[in-house]
Amino acid sequence: MDILSKVKKSIRGLKAYDPGLTQTKYKLDANENPYDVPAVLKKAILKKAQRIPFNRYPDAATVTLKKNISKYLGVKTENIFVGNGSDEIIEYLMQTFVEQGDTVIVPTPTFEMYRIIGVINGAKIIELPLDKKFDIDEKAIITAVKKTKAKFVFLAYPNNPTGNCFSENKIMKIIESVDCFVVLDEAYYDFSGRSFLKCLKRHKNLIILRTFSKAFSMAALRMGYMIADRETVAAVNKVRLPYNINSLSQFVAVELLKADRTKVLEIIIKERKKLYALIKEKYECVDSNANFIFLKPKTPSKAQKVFEAQSISVRVFTAGPAAGWMRLTVGTPAENKLVRQILKRGV
Ligand code: PMP
């Protein structure tokens, strides 16, 4: 049997996602939190987690978790949807709303999964370049939505990989002008302190995504959530697999919501500012509202090797709209010191 000829046409051209794992000592390529959950807290959580019956299916409706997120955010549980990482929610959104050939609009460069998941689900992706200041062209987006009757506009806020928050006014203009979902992906919200959560009540087409992968140091256990109109949540629940969030992740997320992360966030933000102060003196770069910095190395072809020689992995973009630029995750103070030494010597 010719297996390749049976693969869906929309995904034949795709490559399997490559997270680019390297055997380096310092991982500054995936925008993770450099700090694990403190050992004492981790031990206490795992001790309590022993009560979780491994032979039973998880709570399919994630009742306790949603109650806790609801309390944490001050929104109703009917407005919350929980996913196995926000990646899974993006997949469910596309499954729910995108018909074959529907349009999805993304600025570029941005988080690659919007395009990849869109393509998998048969969407036609329109990529609209950011301007010179790495802000969105809201008029082009609005025009494209109206012309193509787009289903979604995806905006990461702050944007990955550029690290900046797009203009609030421009985003508001889009939300108010279009008959289409505007997904504001606030994965890095805790580092920016800026959110559109307060606008949810007034705008049914607004969808907000958050994750436990960054500020909550929980990337390994996969946990993300969406805050949206109750009808959106109800529709997306129709495609959700029954037990998408395992019992351990549900339990740990509830525990971590109670933990105070202020100190860790303060350190990361302070370190980002220190790193940026040096970078802006020597490189073309973007001021960041996230836990990473986007900059242009002088010799992009060598940058990766220079960092890897010191056992540091970073993300250097060799193709696409960010080609010639790199993204550097803020690490621990010791890691950032190493990074600064390398940047001072020049890459
Ligand atoms: N959105 C953005 C903008 C991201 O950068 C990332 C992770 N790199 C994600 C979503 C995915 O988050 P999760 O781990 O919750 O799937």
Backbone angles phi, psi at 236, to 5 degrees: -70, -30
pLDDT of residue 243: 97
In the predicted model, what is the mean pLDDT of residues 9-20? Answer: 87
Work out the angle between the directed axes of helices 113-120 and 86-97 (0-180°, nearest 10). Answer: 40
Core vs surface per residue 93-115: b (16+ CB within 10 A) or e? bbebbbeeebbbbbbbbbbebbb
The rounded distance, in Å, linking the Cα atoms of 112 and 106 is 10
In this predicted model, what pLDDT tens digit does every residue of 260-318 receive, in sequence order? 999 999 999 999 999 999 999 999 999 999 999 999 999 998 999 999 999 999 999 99
Query: Domain spanning 3-30+262-345 has what CATH number?
Result: 3.90.1150.10
The rounded distance, in Å, linking the Cα atoms of 181 and 175 is 8
Q: Which of 18-32, 80-94, 171-185, 219-233 has the lowest mean pLDDT?
A: 18-32
pLDDT of residue 18: 83
Task: For ligand 1, say whether the CB of 33 is within 6 Å of any of its atoms.
Answer: no
Domain 39-258 has CATH 3.10.450.50: no
In this predicted model, what pLDDT tens digit does every residue of 195-225 receive, in sequence order? 999 999 999 999 999 999 999 999 999 999 9
The rounded distance, in Å, linking the Cα atoms of 97 and 167 is 27
Domain parsing of the chain, residue ranges: 3-30+262-345, 39-258
What ligand 1 atom has the least distance to the C-alpha of 212?
15
pLDDT band at 17 (very low <50, low <70, confident <90, very high): confident
The pTM of the full predicted model, rounded to 2 decimals, is 0.97
Residue with CA closest to ligand 1 atom 5: 160
Mean pLDDT of the chain: 97
β 326-329/292-296 pair status: antiparallel
Task: For ligand 1, say whether the CB of 185 is within 6 Å of any of its atoms.
Answer: yes
**C-alpha 270, offset from chain centre:** 21
pLDDT band at 132 (very low <50, low <70, confident <90, very high): very high
Backbone angles phi, psi at 237, to 5 degrees: -60, -20
In this predicted model, what pLDDT tens digit does every residue of 151-166 receive, in sequence order? 999 999 999 999 999 9
In the predicted model, what is the mean pLDDT of residues 5-26? Answer: 88
pLDDT band at 10 (very low <50, low <70, confident <90, very high): confident
Number of H helices and E strands in the chain, helices first, is 14, 13
Which of the listed residues 212, 213, 217 should we mutate to test ligand 1's pocket, taking the one with most ligand atoms within 8 A of CB?
213
Taken in order 101, 104, 109, 114, is the CA torsion positive or negative? negative
87 C-alpha to ligand 1 centroid (Å): 6
H/E stretch holding 172 reads helix 168-177
Task: For ligand 1, say whether the CB of 224 is within 6 Å of any of its atoms.
Answer: yes
pLDDT at 248 over 90: yes
Task: For ligand 1, say whether the CB of 91 is within 6 Å of any of its atoms.
Answer: no
